[in-house]
Amino acid sequence: MKVSRYNHRIAHDGRLLLFNAYRRGLHDVGESVYSALDQLEAGAENWDSELSDSTRATLVEAGYVIEDDVDEHTTLLAERESLRLSTEVIGLTIAPTIDCNFGCPYCFEGAEKPQERMSEQTMSAVVNFARGLITESTRGLSITWFGGEPLLGMSQIEQLTHRFRSAIVEPMGLHYAASIVTNGYGLTRKIATRLRDLGVVRTQITLDGTAEYHNQRRFRIGGHPTFDRIVENIVESCDVLRISVRVNVDEENRESFVPLVKYLQDELGLKGKVSVYPAMLRQ
């Protein structure tokens, strides 16, 4: 047996937790398990002698401890490749525009974004491209709207959705679902309702920490702060769309993650309504 390379030890509130990022299990384990895993890593044969049978079984079932001949990394890459090549659900990420109303200094798409919206010709080409990916085993079409800021291309989102539905989804009897990655500034309840009618079920909105940090980095072109309006939109739209808040976390703003979660979940009452997760930014 050997220890999974995807194990993470987390000491939290006096508890010793074990998380496996491959199998996505999280267990409250205690010192005896940490010590047993240390012994296994050091090559001890009787590494589990202090563990109960049920604890040992849990470690194996949840993938914290694996057989010697298992290569998790290769298995993971093979699984990812098989998902990527699967035609059961055709997934496309589409930018109806690269234009954006924000001026985030770290934007990988640069400061000078073209302001065009997707042309009629390109929309037709996208629908034809999607149609060409469909095989006999295809059951669904999944679209992710991306940008720039995709809400600046609402008209293109509407037109493309209608075309996908009438040219592909309905005649071929497929399931259709969409998601959107947005900065959240334009996501009013009215827009959220329009998106829901266009098959959008999931929404990802990015915050860069509490207002103090967020407004220094995710401001409108010209510098206008955006935090309050985005949060107001989240509150207004969270019963219309399933919203996840991605919080960019780095050395500069990491202290603000927990206060932000408390603000959203406790002060604004969003606990159970909106998911919030950190995204580590690395240079």
Q: Are 194 and 167 in contact (CB under 8 A)?
A: no
- Residue 46: CB partners within 8 Å, gap ≥ 6? 39
Q: In the structure encoding, which two tokens stand for residue 45, read together?
A: 């044969």
Q: Are 243 and 271 in contact (CB under 8 A)?
A: no
Among 162, 155, 164, 178, which residue's Cα sits nearest to residue 134?
164
Q: Is 213 in the site for ligand SF4 (CB under 6 A)?
A: no
Q: Is 148 in the site for ligand SF4 (CB under 6 A)?
A: yes
Q: In the structure encoding, which two tokens stand for residue 282, read together?
A: 């690395």
Q: Which of residues 249-268 bind ligand SF4 (CB under 6 A)?
A: none
Q: Alpha-carbon dihedral of residues 195, 221, 261, 34, nearest 10 degrees?
A: 100
Q: Is 146 in the site for ligand SF4 (CB under 6 A)?
A: no
In angstroms, give the least distance from the CB of 258 to ligand SF4.
23
**Count of positions on this chain that bind ligand SF4 (CB under 6 A):** 10
In angstroms, give the least distance from the CB of 205 to ligand SF4.
10
Q: Is 57 in the site for ligand SF4 (CB under 6 A)?
A: no
Nearer to ligand SF4 among residue 172 and residue 279 (C-beta): 279
Q: Is 102 in the site for ligand SF4 (CB under 6 A)?
A: yes
Q: In the structure encoding, which two tokens stand for residue 6, read together?
A: 């995807």
283 to 212, 251, 253, 255: CA distances (angstroms): 22, 10, 14, 18
Q: Is 72 in the site for ligand SF4 (CB under 6 A)?
A: no
**What is the distance between the alpha carbons of residues 62 and 66, in angstroms, rounded to a whole number?**
9
Q: Which region, judged by CB under 6 A, interacts with ligand SF4, from 51-59, 65-73, 143-151, 275-283?
A: 143-151
DSSP β-ladder status, 65-66 and 25-28:
unpaired
Q: Is 147 in the site for ligand SF4 (CB under 6 A)?
A: yes
The 149-188 site mask, x for binding ligand SF4 (CB under 6 A), equals x---------------------------------x-----
- DSSP lists the bridge partners of residue 181 as 204
Q: Is 245 in the site for ligand SF4 (CB under 6 A)?
A: no
Name the residue type at position 260. L
Q: Which of residues 109-138 bind ligand SF4 (CB under 6 A)?
A: 109
Q: State the residue for tokens 């930014």.
A: 281
Q: In the structure encoding, which two tokens stand for residue 196, read together?
A: 């829901």
Q: Which region, judged by CB under 6 A, interacts with ligand SF4, from 49-57, 146-154, 251-259, 273-281?
A: 146-154
DSSP state of 118: P
Q: Which of 37, 66, 94, 104 binds ligand SF4 (CB under 6 A)?
A: 104
Q: Is 76 in the site for ligand SF4 (CB under 6 A)?
A: no
In angstroms, give the least distance from the CB of 154 to ligand SF4.
16
Q: Is 232 in the site for ligand SF4 (CB under 6 A)?
A: no
Among 66, 77, 75, which residue's Cα sits nearest to residue 25?
66
Q: Which residues bind ligand SF4 (CB under 6 A)?
A: 100, 102-104, 107, 109, 147-149, 183
